[in-house]
Amino acid sequence: MMLIIDNLHATVADKPILKGLSLTINAGEVHAIMGPNGAGKSTLGYTLGGRPGYEVTGGTATFDGEDLFALEPHERAAAGLFLGFQYPVEIPGVSFVQFLRESLNAQRKSRGEEPLSGGEFLKLAREKAALLKLDMDMLKRPVNVGFSGGEKKRAEMVQMGILDPKLAILDETDSGLDIDALRIVGDGINAVMRRPDKAVLLITHYQRLLDYVKPDFVHVLAGGRIVRTGGAELALELEERGYEAVAA
Amino acid sequence: MPDALTLPTRRDEDYRYADLGALAAVWPLAPETIVVPAGESRRMTVVQTGDAPQVRDLAIDLGEGATFTLHVLTVGAASARIAVTVRLAATAAFHLGAAQLAGAGATAEIVTRVVHAAPNAVSRQVVRSVAAAGGTVNYLGKVLVEKGADGTDGEQSVRAMLLDRTATANARPELEIHADDVKCAHGCAVGELDAQALFYMAQRGLPPELAKRLMLQAFVAEALVGAEDEEALQDQARAALEALL
């Protein structure tokens, strides 16, 4: 089992958001979490990623046999956890190429692997950028600065491709994408993550990304807990009947 | 103003935050005069480094259409101060890019007075300061637009980063405008590194100390863009930053 979340409680600014969430994800699976605004979807991603201000007040999360909450955010990344941001952060003056090479090599170092040389890294970056149809020149620019919403989301997926995580938690990766970009991103997720040793947790409002990345399980999150679990058909039912009817 | 031979006191506005002890060691100061004739361009780089206090006082006079680009890198272990007075004739341009890094016990200070004396001159000041524990960084800058200097374009972009609770930054950007149709912008911020960016970088696997270093390098580098022999200057800035962290 890749990720086991058991009875997770978390607060943001002392306000309880997650109230007993349990979820198990096995290698090779794609899970989707859907739910209304304020249900705690993004909080789940941030809490698992270790964002400061998101406090675990109860429960456990075990990632690949390790206590996830005992690890610092960068250690979680090195352990193979990738969080795709709903709003990727701009970092003026730091190029994607520099940022990602340093990040990847920091991860490799902590795993006892040799760092990639500049040439090796560029080859890898070029390959992943091509996969997501992102111009390689964009990766020479400062991180996310001046990128459109859609470009930021594609750049997130390029980063995922380069860092090659075991588990990707993708927080509303489909928001801000037009139809073509949605397909490119969906194909990218499948190409990078659809493997027996990897898993994906998609956090989304809408069914449309799930047309491209077919989930094995769909969960409905409401009031800080998972209130219903089903197969891909549950997403269609949600789309048709709305959260209120399905979650009740 | 005190006369040139008398050491200033804290009552003198331009010396309010200065390291007067360090100034006493090098006082009195010989001001340096730079005249750029009409239509000509000059570039200058001042690096203040070393264990002894460094103090410079530049008076720059720009003729019509003249340009002057000044870069300052202050990285020494001791206190440093640079005062720059610039007078711009019509359509002259002045650019200042300054990076100052101050460690424990050091005060790094930039004092500017930019006088737009005639129409359509441009001045840009980009100052990036980093103060470590026990260090102080100051910027006191005045843009004075004289009567008749219409079409003036003056900009002050001043940011300081504090690496510790015991670090200090003083910033006093000032505008005094006596003309019409003037574009003057000033931005001033003192703060710490962006927590959101630090988490984003950590989430990609960068340990906090590495993420901070990358962000600070970029922060300082911005001030030195376009300097003569930029690469060497940037290397020197990076090395000094490394020593500060």
| B201/A103 CB distance under 8 A | yes
Tens-place pLDDT, residues A142-156: 999 999 999 999 999
| pLDDT tens column, B96-153 | 999 999 999 999 999 999 999 999 999 999 999 999 999 999 999 999 999 999 999 9
Which of B204, B215, B219 is nearest residue A103 as measured by Cβ atoms? B204
Percentage of chain B exceeding pLDDT 70: 98
> What's the average model confidence in pLDDT over A65-85?
97
**DSSP state string for A45-66:** HHHHHT-TTEEEEEEEEEETTE
Residue pLDDT, tens place only, A87-117:
999 999 999 999 999 999 999 999 999 999 9
Is a pLDDT exceeding 70 seen at residue B1? Answer: no
Query: What's the pLDDT band for B6 if we cut at 50, 70, 90?
Result: confident
The C-alpha atoms of residue A154 and residue A168 are separated, in whole angstroms, by 14
Q: What is the mean pLDDT of residues A117-122?
A: 96
**pLDDT tens across B223-232, in order?**
999 999 999 9
Span B46-65, mean pLDDT?
A: 94
pLDDT value of position A185: 93
Q: Which residues 6+ apart lie within 8 Å of A192 measured at CB?
A: A128, A131, A157, A160, A161, A164, A168, A198
- Compute the distance between CA of residue A29 and CA of residue A183 in angstroms, rounded to an integer: 20
As beta bridge partners, residue A10 has: A18, A56
Q: Is the pLDDT of residue A157 over 60?
A: yes
pLDDT of residue A248: 64
Question: CA–CA separation, A77 vs A111, rounded Å?
Answer: 11
From the list B203, B215, B218, the residue facing A73 with the nearest CB is B203
* Residues above pLDDT 70, as percent of chain A: 100
CA A148 to mean position of chain CA atoms = 19
Domain extents in chain A: 3-90+165-247
pLDDT at residue number B22: 87
Q: What is the pTM of this model?
A: 0.89
Task: State the pLDDT at residue B186.
Answer: 87
Contact assignment for B214 to A104 by CB distance below 8 Å: no
Total CB pairs under 8 A between chain A and B: 78
Average pLDDT, chain B: 93
Share of chain B above pLDDT 90, in %: 80
Q: Check pLDDT > 80 for residue B5.
A: no
CB within 8 Å of A16: residues ≥ 6 apart: A9, A10, A57, A224
Tell me what pLDDT residue B4 has.
66
Main-chain phi, psi angles of B88, to 5 degrees: -110, 125
Instruction: Please state, in angstroms and rounded to a whole number, the distance separating the CA atoms of residues B220 and B73.
Output: 10
B92 pLDDT more than 60 = yes
Chain A residues in contact with B218 by the CB 8 A cut-off are: 91-94, 142
**Does the pLDDT at position A10 exceed 90?**
yes
Picking from A42, A97, A103, A144 by the largest number of B CB atoms within 10 A of its own CB, the best residue to mutate is A103
> In terms of Cα–Cα distance, which of B167, B170, B168 is closest to B133?
B167
pLDDT at A75: 97
Residue in A94, A113, A159 to test binding to B, most B beta-carbons within 10 Å: A94
The answer to whether A234 touches A200, Cβ cutoff 8 Å, is no
The partner residue sitting opposite B204, judged by closest CB among A72, A110, A163, is A163
What's the pLDDT at A87?
A: 94
Probe site for chain A from B206, B225, B234 (most A CB atoms < 10 A): B206
Bridge partners, residue B42, by sequence: B68
- Determine what percent of chain A is predicted with pLDDT higher than 90: 87
A224 has a pLDDT exceeding 50:
yes
Domain A3-90+165-247 has CATH 3.40.50.300: yes
What integer is the mean pLDDT of A157-183? 94
State whether residue A119 sits within 8 Å of chain B by CB: no
Q: What ranges do the domains of chain B cover?
A: 13-192
Is A78 an interface residue toward B (CB < 8 Å)?
yes
